[in-house]
Amino acid sequence: MTLPENRLTAITDPGDPRLEAYRDIRERDLVRRHGHFIAEGKTVLQVLVAQDRFAVQSLLVLENRVSGIADLITALPADVPVYCATQAVLDAIAGFHMHRGILAIARIPEEIGRLPDPLPAAWTNALVLSGIANHDNMGGIFRNAAAFGVDAVLLDLECCDPLYRKAIRVSVGGVLRVPFFRLGAMEDAVGTLAQNGFAIAALSPAGRIDIADWQPATRQALVLGSEGHGLAEKWLDRLETLSIDMAPGFDSLNVATAGAIALHRVRSARKGN
């Protein structure tokens, strides 16, 4: 597919003020940029363009990558700027070597953090995240959530931002697919889900039920805690707890891996009914 010449804007000066939102992204993207976030790579851009939750504001593309995403550029509204640059200029703008060569700025809608009340009847599969502070883990959890059909992810205030550039990239766009909501505390998440008829089970190495013997409810929420201190004892006492059988002398799984096993269990159990 060939793009019209006027669809692209060539950038030769790394200091061009039109590229301010992309500047020094490694240092700056821990903080959302005035209601926007950065998406990186072709796969993530495909998801971003295909959904309607986040409006794309502009693209910055390595000049030799333009032809490979011509169909995605064409799918964008005509007024979305598409900037292209050489590798040297792109690296100078970003502040490090950008080997993927595709960046997008997208807007975060104001309503993204508002949990529907009541929860949609179609929701049957939810995740609650507590204290997930590692962006790789956050991205992995959202990748699993998208793969296993999670309807919503609820995060407490101790969780890192799913819209951090690395989390989006690791999730392979899963963060952009699965609705997520940040609540004030675990109490809010658990209370809201319980009021809407969800059974709630937490993953823990000391879980009282082997996940292989567990039968998920019709509306089921799973709780994942941080790899460090895990969930507070009060939640382990209060909630149904699940363990994953492992080899003797070892009881630790990456939180995203444990979540994937649990979500697969939910999906396979329902398919068997």
Note the pLDDT tens digit of each residue in 123-176. 999 999 999 999 999 999 999 999 999 999 999 999 999 999 889 999 999 999
Task: Give how far Cα 116 sits from Cα of 103, 113, 132, 154, 201, Å.
Answer: 31, 9, 23, 12, 22
pLDDT at residue 100 above 90? no
pLDDT at 25: 80
Q: Where are the domains of the chain?
A: 5-108, 112-272
**Separation between Cα atoms, residue 3 and residue 7, nearest integer Å:** 7
pLDDT at 140: 98
Contact 190, 56 (CB under 8 A): no
Sheet holding 56-62, edge to edge: 9-10, 82-85, 56-62, 102-107, 36-40
Q: Which fold has domain 112-272?
A: Alpha/beta knot (3.40.1280)
How would you class 262 by CB atoms within 10 Å of its CB: exposed for 0-12, middle for 13-18, buried for 19 or more?
buried
Same fold, 5-108 and 112-272: no
CA quadruple 11, 15, 16, 19: dihedral sign:
positive
pLDDT at residue 211 above 90? yes
pLDDT at 32: 59
Residue for token digits 């941080």? 226
Percent of the chain with pLDDT over 90: 71
**Separation between Cα atoms, residue 65 and residue 68, nearest integer Å:** 5
Beta-carbon count within 10 A of 111 CB: 8
Q: Which fold has domain 5-108?
A: 60s Ribosomal Protein L30; Chain: A; (3.30.1330)
pLDDT at 206: 86
pLDDT at residue 27 above 90? no
Look up the pTM and report it: 0.92
Contact 196, 118 (CB under 8 A): yes
Work out whether strand 36-40 and strand 102-107 pair parallel, antiparallel, or are unpaired. Answer: antiparallel
